[in-house]
Structure 1
Amino acid sequence: MLTTRPERWDRVVDAIIVGSGGAALTAATMAHDGGAEVLVLEKASLIGGTTAVSGGVVWLPGNHHMAEVGISDSREDALAYLRRLTCGHEHDPAVLETFVDTAPEVLSYLEANTPLRMQPVANFPDYFFAYDVPGKKSGGRSCEPLPYAVGDEIPEWRDRLVTRGTLMSLGSNTMLAEDFAEPTEELKAELARREAQDIRTKGAALIAMLFKGLLERGVELLLETPVRELIVVDGSVIGVRAEANGQSIFVAARKGVVLACGGYEWNKEMVRAFIGYEVQPLSPPNNVGDGLVMAMEAGAQLANMTSYFGQPAMFDPEISRDGELVPQFEWGRGAPGSLIVNRTGARFANEAMPYNDFPKAFGAYDATQNEFPNEGPGWMIFDQGVRDSTRILSMIPGRPTPDWVPVANSIRDLAALIGLDADTLEATVATFDENASQGRDPLFHRTELGLMAPGAVRPLNQGPFYAVVIWPGALGTNGGPRLDTNGQVRGYRTPVIDGLYAAGNTAASAYAWAYPGGGATIANGMVFGFRAGRHLAAQPARDI
């Protein structure tokens, strides 16, 4: 952190937005529309951050599209649902209420004033719909972007917008509902058309539409321009030191700086210090905590630092980047005829629970034995019935099993192959099978609770048997500087740090560790990016 003004400024603008994901581009849009001169600085060589490689779904309770699918919502229902999930651990109840109050406005405003167009995801309930919680909805709160013709609309930027890259589980040019639909000839033809015309979906479409809106506004975005330090003079954030072409540049902000540059899940030291156990990152590798470090240096209060938006992760030796295996989204978790065990060979959680929550079970502490019995990796064990019906990484039904997959004719032999205690694994599977034959799971209630609906079980009785390593993974961390209702960063020595805002995974989530529905990560970022940009623009320009 620099505490004196540079001898000269290379640029002077009203607002500096650090990052180019959904939170950042929303903040830039609102700052511009409030009359501010805006500059967006992105560390990477591509636009879009974590949002661009995501499913692009945004969880917005009370949004105007809910009426189109015949589902009503209310402030009271949304708050009751969120409060039950946070269990009172949100860092500020007022910020949670602000999220609910602002969510409908965000989508209405962006659809009315930018190229962004969205629709409710079909048959997509809140994630805890199967649970006895108040305020849950059977659908409508999760909206996804419509396909966007990048090749036609912004052809000059097409190679600088992030695509889905090396994540296998969601199609690169399908909408979310299409990922779970039968691949009809009509769908295959439509996907071929999108591929040929560079029509993008999911997070790539969301980012492209928001970015197109900024281009129409004349907002400048600089790639490969990492922000290294805040410039803080007399307690006020007045600019940044960035790097461009290997040289330092100093950019002044007459009104403020918004940090929306991702979390810290790729920073192993921070993960070990704050989360406490190994978590595999499932986001772009630039998320190393840059914004968090800058906020801490400026004196920011922190919250929710031990948490993250979870997603079980697997590795496929056929998927690598720069010689390193790339963590992949889970495949097949909770399939009937499968279970997950820890390194002792014992089950430790309901395999069908929401994906955000399952990884947290890896960090459970056993106070009786003084150990972390579930510390990763674990193993997903499944039988031939699952192998024949479910794709798991590069294992595709009907095709030969890859050489890297452990396969054995008995559970005991499989235990020997993967280094688990054979007696324990046999006993675990036997107990599971006995209960599953009666359609029950008394240990973890899998037949009663699960992601959007109860899970299902059946005995593992169709040999041979298979195993795949499974780890706790992170879509992004969700701890960071505490925000007020305007997205301003709170300080330890001052109520807020003048001129400093944050949004997205750089900041503490409004709903603590909870993940209420599909798109909750992006929604939290866009709502507080929206509020930060609007509040920043309304501030008087400072004499820099």
Structure 2
Amino acid sequence: MAKAREAWDRIADVIVVGSGGAALSAALLAADGGADVLVLEKADQIGGTTAVSGGVVWVPCNAHMAGIGVADSREDALAYIRALSKGSEPDASLLEVFVDSAPEMIAHLEKATPLRMVPTRGFSDYYSPYDVPGAKPEGRSLEPVPFPVGAELPGWRDRLAGRITMPTLGAYTTLEEDLSGHPPDPAEIARRQSLDIRPRGAALIGALMKGLLERGVDTWTGAPARELVIRDGAVIGVRCERGSEPLRIGARRGVVLACGGFEWDRDLVRAHIGYDLYPVSPPNNVGDGLRLAMQAGAQLANMGSYWGTGAMIDPTLLRDGVPYPQFDAARGAPGTLIVNRYGHRFVNEAVPYNDFPRTFGTFDPLRVAFANPSPAWQIFDHRLKESMPILSMQPGAPAPAWVPQAPGIRELATRIGIDPDALEDSVRRFNEHAARGEDPDFRRHEIGLQRAVAPRPVDAPPFYALPIYPGTLGTNGGPRIDADARVTRPGGGVVPGLYAAGNSAANAFGWAYPSGGGTLANAMTFGYRAGRHAAAQPDREL
């Protein structure tokens, strides 16, 4: 007996849910494979977390490395990733798939779109000081050349997300410019602003979006996916909304979920991570992809993991009238230390940002509670305060009233509700060793993000304190995928017609974050493979 046909409002070959780096890479490869592609984005702007990110993509063995004289190999890349993931990866074979496919992915996107990537000079792998095998001094982390959104995407410039208010991240400068110590002169910054030339994640999204428009790919904003259409266990479409209108969209070849993680859904975070996180990502990441995959019976993996960072809250920086988390500022800088609510140091303050917030999840069986409950406190002195911007606090200007400060450490402890004896003892011990450039308790003089920086004493009054929280760039647990980003089922096999990539899928690296751009590289590589595979599938009768 013939199956009844579904009633569709539109039919495409491939539907991509989301519009960040993973999603647009999937859409481009599907289009290049001859598929009719429809991109569905819930927000009013495209770009997702990628557009407000640094835009760096970590690609071992990429073709740009030879130009700066850095050799790389498959063996070195795999040794480095495996040393960091330590068996936490959901599928060990995907590490090889990533290393083999990432250079191919970035080369294809540069050839097929206006995207141009360059190595960020002097930007080493994050764990270079840790004696991890296979680390490289530079070259694997690529960043996009600033993209002229105003000239190339005039009809989309207001619908392309840009850098949200993040004082620790440049809105019109590249990462290399920031790291060089020689930023562009004000005239160049003004030129980029007036012409809407965007660097970083917005450049990456702008260039990929230009490629989609050149291919005639349809992209809908304000179109949240609400439910998958499933027939006989296969995903054949999506129920979505556009405006207030419910729509049924059929997918002849497949649906790609690439719509972020679940970090803004507190219930999901507490259920899977176990403690509250403070996201620095766009607030639309509430687990849409995870729920859709679960509806299809997906096997889940890596659910307790996330891309970490320290987070701070500045009450003068608002979104929709409410303060929201910012990337931490000055963590690990000379003249700073971090203590928990008991007044004790508990971490090397300069460790890679992915690792720092995980210390908040340490359980103390003697207290029968988390050992380092949020928030912790970053303590610093006036010399540090005058050396760099910290959130909206500027050198040379009085510290704002919302920043706790005091002439002495004991008085500061009283202001922030910490035992004065404990904080005074912690600072005294830290200072004694820092005066010799050492940190025997947490090895700050030996290891840190990319390089070790010797501590210095916190001894120049007045003293300041800022609360610091476990933050996240996004969760990275979700449906387990195979080499072509097909969503797998418990017990084996795949969900026909369903793919996932980026933070909507289980991170191929497990808990690891290899270096700057590891998030985007993982996302775009498996988005690339998903789009290519989906486009090659035969049409299904809908």
TM-score range (shorter-chain normalised) is over 0.9
Q: 1:372, 1:245 → 2: CA distance? A: 44
Matched, 1:508 2:506: yes
Segment of structure 1 superposing worse, 6-15 or 413-422? 6-15
Partner of 2:298: 300
State the secondary structure of the residue aligned to 1:497: strand
TM-score by length of 1: 0.98
- Listed one character per residue, the Cα deviations across residues 306-345 of structure 1 (whole Å, up to 9, x for unaligned) are 1100010001111011222111011100111110011111
Partner of residue 424 from structure 2, selected from 419, 426, 433: 426
Q: 1:237, 1:387 → 2: CA distance? A: 55
Report 1:162-181 matches (<5 A): 162-181=161-180
Partner of 1:66: 65
Partner of 1:361: 359
Partner of 1:498: 496
TM-score by length of 2: 0.98
State the secondary structure of the residue aligned to 1:51: helix
Please state which structure has a larger fraction of its residues in strand.
Answer: 2
Partner of 2:200: 202
Matched, 1:29 2:28: yes
Segment of structure 1 superposing worse, 227-236 or 172-181? 172-181
Q: Which amino acid aligns with 1:92?
A: D
Q: 2:314, 2:243 → 1: CA distance? A: 36
Give the CA deviation at 1:367: 3.1
Report 1:369-408 matches (<5 A): 369-408=367-406
State the secondary structure of the residue aligned to 1:462: coil
Partner of 1:522: 520
Q: 2:365, 2:77 → 1: CA distance? A: 36
Q: Which amino acid aligns with 2:487?
A: V
Give the CA deviation at 1:369: 3.6
Partner of 2:449: 451
Partner of 1:286: 284
| Count of residue pairs the alignment pairs up | 540
| Identity percentage of aligned residues | 58
Segment of structure 1 superposing worse, 458-467 or 368-377? 368-377
Matched, 1:482 2:488: no
Q: Which amino acid aligns with 1:365?
A: F
Report 1:44-443 matches (<5 A): 44-182=43-181, 187-443=185-441
Query: Which 5+ residue runs of structure 1 have no aligned equivalent?
Result: none
Q: 2:4, 2:234 → 1: CA distance? A: 11
Q: 2:54, 2:324 → 1: CA distance? A: 18
State the secondary structure of the residue aligned to 2:369: coil
State the secondary structure of the residue aligned to 1:243: strand
Give the CA deviation at 1:455: 2.8
Q: Report the RMSD for the aligned CA atoms in angstroms.
A: 1.2
Give the CA deviation at 1:190: 1.3
Give the CA deviation at 1:475: 0.3
Q: 1:5, 1:167 → 2: CA distance? A: 52
CA contact (8 A) 1:65 1:140 kept: yes
- Listed one character per residue, the Cα deviations across residues 42-79 of structure 1 (whole Å, up to 9, x for unaligned) are 00000100000000000011110011111011000000
Give the CA deviation at 1:400: 1.5
Query: Which 5+ residue runs of structure 2 have no aligned equivalent?
Result: none
State the secondary structure of the residue aligned to 2:253: strand
Q: 1:182, 1:15 → 2: CA distance? A: 45
Q: 1:172, 1:452 → 2: CA distance? A: 23
Q: Which amino acid aligns with 2:282?
A: P
Q: Which amino acid aligns with 2:29?
A: M
Q: 1:164, 1:475 → 2: CA distance? A: 14
Q: 1:282, 1:387 → 2: CA distance? A: 23
- Listed one character per residue, the Cα deviations across residues 93-152 of structure 1 (whole Å, up to 9, x for unaligned) are 111110011011011111111111010011100000111110000000000000111111
- Listed one character per residue, the Cα deviations across residues 460-512 of structure 1 (whole Å, up to 9, x for unaligned) are 11111000010010001010000101100001155100000000001011101
CA contact (8 A) 1:309 1:515 kept: yes
State the secondary structure of the residue aligned to 1:12: strand
Q: 2:4, 2:51 → 1: CA distance? A: 35
Q: 2:191, 2:4 → 1: CA distance? A: 53
